[in-house]
Amino acid sequence: MRRTRWPVIGLILGAAAGCAWGWFGAGGYEAIDSAVGTGFLCALAGLLVGAVAYAVAEYRDRKRR
């Protein structure tokens, strides 16, 4: 898998996990609002994790050269 896709994969997985967490964790009270908000924040966190993983992998490749 190409490393350039890692931030996008992190974004998608973070959004999916956040939506599920917000939906099932709301207990039925305004579940859609909770799912959207939590999904957005987890998508940002997933994007950040993917970007850091990409940067670390690039750094290791440059160090080996």
Summarised one tens digit per residue, pLDDT across range 43-63 is 999 999 999 999 998 898 888
| Structural contact between residues 44 and 14, judged by C-beta atoms closer than 8 angstroms | yes
pTM exceeds 0.85, yes or no? no
d(CA 2, CA 22): 31
User: What tens digit of pLDDT does each residue of 18-47 get?
Assistant: 999 999 988 878 889 999 999 999 999 999
